[in-house]
Amino acid sequence: MNRLDRAYSVFGLQLHANRSIPGLKFAETDLSEPAVEIYLGVSPPIAREDSAVAETLRYASSILTKQGEPVLRIWTIADGALLRLDYIDGMQFWLDREGKSVWAQWPDTLSIEDAASYLLGPVLGLLLRLRGVTCLHASAVAFGDRAVAFVGAEGAGKSTTAAAFARRGCSVLSDDVVALREAGGTFHVLPAYPYLSLWPDSVEMLYGSGKTLPSFSENFDKRMLSLAEEHLKFEQEPLPLGGIFLLGEKSADAAAPLVETLPSRESLLALVANSYATNLLDTEMRAREFELLGRLVASVPVWRLRPREGAPQIDRLCDVARHTWDNTRLAYAHASHRA
């Protein structure tokens, strides 16, 4: 059960797992190469061998159950050697300090599909942060040879917007977590996995009431939009980040969706507020992230995109975003030609 004979490629990482991870396809990777080790249905040795190991509460979610309990608690174990994530439904994950190993256990009321829904979202998002990778709470698609990210809080419409662009022929790079890699002064978006996670009302908005998509598990309301099964495209290679749209508050203006270019300072503050898994960053990590995002907004345009209040207008929102992007690219091309 502990043999790591399944290999996957996600967020630029090689994942070597002891069990198949639902939602992912096996990758052609070298199992002898260093990778992130994923142990599903297994707790770490220290948790099995020493029940008296010291643990300290590091974080408690501000999102509470009806009984007032945090939906997530994160503990430091053995003087910080491990982090343990305790979800209110009984799902548990452990991550080592360097972000090289993950263990997961769950009660009989949950399944490996439930574990995968956590693993491929918040858990790998946190692991990337431990490895020094800055992540945005965003989804990303390809506009030609550039990645465009749609950033926003929970419920802002990131996945729905990505799905709408996928139906227009754009390749999807990532959903909910956008991992960034800086190289040679250029920021790249790392591809994640070939599906999108949508609420049922988003599925109806995009496809109509007759469309049904499978749920991730019987315990999870979101639906899985498999790109391959829907004949949509997934971008498997990192792409340079060409632009960022911040999905802002809805507008009552009849002209909405509205778009505006943000100045660098406002862009920086917005991206800091929408970076992923910041609750465990120490002072040094936050300083590095602030510097990186400062370089990002100096090199990549950032727009605020405000949807229309009331009836959804996802097609119109996509039109506005694409028109904004095309005009910006055209202006850059003209400026380069004149130079």
Adjacency order of strands within the sheet including 220-226: 195-198, 220-226, 215-217
For residue 127, which of 10, 254, 283 has the smallest C-alpha distance?
Answer: 10
Is residue 91 helix, strand or coil? coil
User: Between 283-299 and 264-273, two packed helices, what is the crossing angle to 10 degrees?
Assistant: 140
CA 269 – CA 76 distance, rounded (Å):
29
- Which tokens is 108 given? 């009989």
Decide: residue 70, CB within 10 A, 0-12 exposed, 13-18 middle, 19+ buried: middle
Distance set, CA 4 to CA 10, 15, 20, 102, 298 (Å)? 16, 9, 10, 12, 42
Strand partners, 40: 104
Check: pTM over 0.75? Answer yes or no.
Answer: yes
CA 339 – CA 336 distance, rounded (Å):
5
- Which tokens is 253 given? 């203006």
CA 175 – CA 196 distance, rounded (Å):
6
Q: Residues of the chain whose pLDDT is less than 50?
A: 333-339
Q: Which are the contacts of 168, defined by CB distance < 8 A and separation ≥ 6?
A: 318
| Alpha helix positions (H), the chain | 45-49, 112-118, 124-130, 158-167, 200-207, 264-273, 283-299, 314-338
Is residue 106 helix, strand or coil? coil
pLDDT at 339: 42
CA 37 – CA 15 distance, rounded (Å):
6
**Rounded percentage of the chain residues whose pLDDT exceeds 90:** 70
- Which tokens is 54 given? 């010291």
pLDDT at 50: 65
The full set of domains in the chain, from first to last, is: 6-130 (no CATH), 135-338 (3.40.50.300)
